[in-house]
Amino acid sequence: MSKQYAQHGTYQITIENNRLTVVSNGPFNAETIKTYRHIAAKLRTELSAPWTQIAVMTGMPIFTPEAEAELKRTVIDRQSMGMVACAFVLEQAEGQSITRRQMGRMYDECNIPHVFAANVAEANEWLDAFLADSQCQEE
C-alpha cells in the first residue's frame, strides 16, 4: 500500500506572450510536482511552439529525489510540446547551489538551453535573445 503525503511547496503559473512563467516556493515533494505537472499540461495548450519558460524560485527550492524525478518527466513533456529554453531566477532563495545543481543537471540531461538569471527582466532578455538567435539560424 502506498502512502499519501501532504503537498510541500507552492506554485503559481501564468502565460503571457507565449512564455510560461512559474513562481514557486519550496521545498518540493513529489505530490506537489504531480499536481503541478497535471495543471501545467492543461495550460500548455495555450502555447504554440517554440515557447519558453521562466521559473522564479523562492524559499528553499530544493526537490526530494522523487520530486526531482517527477519534475524531469514534466520537463521532457514540455520539451515534446515545444519548450525550447528556460531561465531560472532564484529570488531570495536558500540553498541556491543545490537548486542550481538539481535544475542544471535536469536541463542538461534533456539538452534544453537554460540560464540562471539575476532577475525576471534579465531572464526575459536572455529568452528573447535566444529565440531571435534560433529564428535567425533557421532562416
Break the chain into its structural domains and give their ranges. Answer: 10-138
The pLDDT value given to residue 123:
98
Pick 133 or 4 by higher pLDDT: 133
Distances (CA, A) of 4 to 11, 29, 30, 47: 20, 11, 10, 32
29-44 pLDDT, tens digit per residue, is 999 999 998 898 888 7
Q: Which H/E stretch holds residue 5?
A: none
Q: Which H/E stretch holds residue 66?
A: helix 65-80
| One-letter-per-residue 3-state SS of 69-122 | HHHHHHHHHHHHCCEEEEEEEEEEECCHHHHHHHHHHHHHHCCCCEEEECCHHH
59-106 pLDDT, tens digit per residue, is 999 999 999 999 999 999 999 999 999 999 999 889 999 999 999 999
Architecture of domain 10-138: 2-Layer Sandwich (3.30)
